[in-house]
Amino acid sequence: MTSVESVQALESALEQLLDDYRDLQAHHVTVLSEPPSSLEALRMIHTGHPVLIEGFSPLSSGLENYDWSQPEVYKQLSENKPVTVAVTDDGLADSVRTLPNRSTTFVKPLEEKMTISDLISRLGPKGESSKHAYYLQSQDGNIYRSEPHPSGLPELDMFQSYIARDVQWMKEAIGSKAEAVNLWIGDSKSTTSLHHDPYENIYHVLAGSKTFTLLSPIEGLWLDQHFHPASTLKRTSSGHLVPILDPPPTYPVPWVSSSDFPDRLSPVRVTLHEGQSLFLPAGWWHRVEQQEGTSGIVVAVNYWYTADIHPQTYAYENFARRVARLAGREGVISAPGE
């Protein structure tokens, strides 16, 4: 067999891998009309497929008098405390850009401190004149975190009286507390670029809507992912935001630069409206767009739980990555240690 024939054989095996997966996996998000029991949640995690869940709320009991779709609730409960807000010129807080010299860089947002009242004043119709996008999207557990942080209490610890520490059925299924619980506040200017997380995720919409475009971990073998030097947006004297390469020590970041999907893939799309939740399994690729409601804001809370690493799945995934690399797919990141 020639080298060309070998590559063709490897490509054929990868194509068959995707077909085998699709033969048994649902082509849409599963829908639950009510929250699962802990046993059902354990089965849900084992299946590893996204689930839209009705009837769950992360809010503590006795808070029926609060309308969580309204900005005034967040202004009131935040106690005028400054929080960290991501600022971008294109609404993509973490994404790849091409610099004037045609090199690429993974760009992180400018972070500014402001009150939630200040943030909300820049969102929705009131903020349409702004050339920048503002998004409360700190992901280190801004309400709760499992480990102490050098900076002290989470920035939004004042919400702990209103947002539950855990999703009880998920905590029982996993066997531990959520590693991080985060509040997200923004508007339709902000979009999350395609990426995946190593956590089991419960994502609940409190205001507006969120549209998730999803790809399974197997379909990630068809994405073009590369390492890019890291940079951070800085504000110039004229008020423009420009990416500046991070000073050493720094490490390149693996990221997908394109927002387009290869024709071979069939992304699953699901829109979450106020009061709906999504179980997003660890490793699933997702891009998130959002639309503010009548109140002009989009708000969500999410819970990240530790994902078990199953030796058999780990070995299969690394094997598939090695096959993809041998087939010439340079956009597939090498298996660990290679």
% of the chain surpassing 70 pLDDT: 98
Decide if 74 contacts 299 (C-beta within 8 A): yes
Higher pLDDT, 60 or 194: 194
Higher pLDDT, 2 or 210: 210
Domain boundaries defined on the chain: 32-311
% of the chain surpassing 90 pLDDT: 85
pLDDT tier at 49 (50, 70, 90 boundaries)? very high
- What is the pLDDT averaged over residues 169-177? 97
pLDDT over 90 at 50, yes or no: yes
Whole-number pLDDT of residue 150: 81
Q: What is the DSSP string of 12-34?
A: HHHHHHHHHHHHHS-SS-EEESS
d(Cα 277, Cα 13) in Å, to the nearest integer?
A: 36
Q: Over the stretch 222-249, which tens digit does the pLDDT of each residue have?
A: 999 999 999 999 999 988 999 999 999 9
Whole-number pLDDT of residue 63: 66
Residue-averaged pLDDT of the chain:
93
Whole-number pLDDT of residue 279: 98
| Sequence-distant (≥ 6) Cβ neighbours of residue 94 within 8 angstroms | 106, 107, 108, 109, 192, 193, 195, 255
Residue 118: exposure state from Cβ atoms within 10 A (0-12, 13-18, ≥19): middle
Whole-number pLDDT of residue 321: 95
d(Cα 162, Cα 121) in Å, to the nearest integer?
A: 23
pLDDT tier at 127 (50, 70, 90 boundaries)? low
Whole-number pLDDT of residue 151: 78
Whole-number pLDDT of residue 336: 86
pLDDT tier at 128 (50, 70, 90 boundaries)? low
30-32, strands of its sheet edge to edge = 30-32, 51-53, 277-280, 199-207, 298-306, 180-186, 144-145
pLDDT tier at 337 (50, 70, 90 boundaries)? confident
Q: Over the stretch 83-121, which tens digit does the pLDDT of each residue have?
A: 999 999 999 989 999 999 999 999 999 999 999 999 999
Q: Poorest-confidence range of 8-17, 19-28, 63-72, 327-336?
A: 63-72
| Sequence-distant (≥ 6) Cβ neighbours of residue 304 within 8 angstroms | 178, 179, 180, 181, 182, 197, 199, 200, 201
pTM of the complete model: 0.94
Beta-carbon neighbour count of residue 23 at 10 Å?
Answer: 7
Whole-number pLDDT of residue 260: 87
Q: Over the stretch 130-140, which tens digit does the pLDDT of each residue have?
A: 789 999 998 88
Q: Over the stretch 271-305, which tens digit does the pLDDT of each residue have?
A: 999 999 999 999 999 999 999 989 999 999 999 99
**CATH number listed for the domain at residues 32-311:** 2.60.120.10
Residue 275: exposure state from Cβ atoms within 10 A (0-12, 13-18, ≥19): middle
Higher pLDDT, 128 or 132: 132
Residue 232's beta-bridge partner residues?
108, 244
Q: Over the stretch 205-215, which tens digit does the pLDDT of each residue have?
A: 999 999 999 99
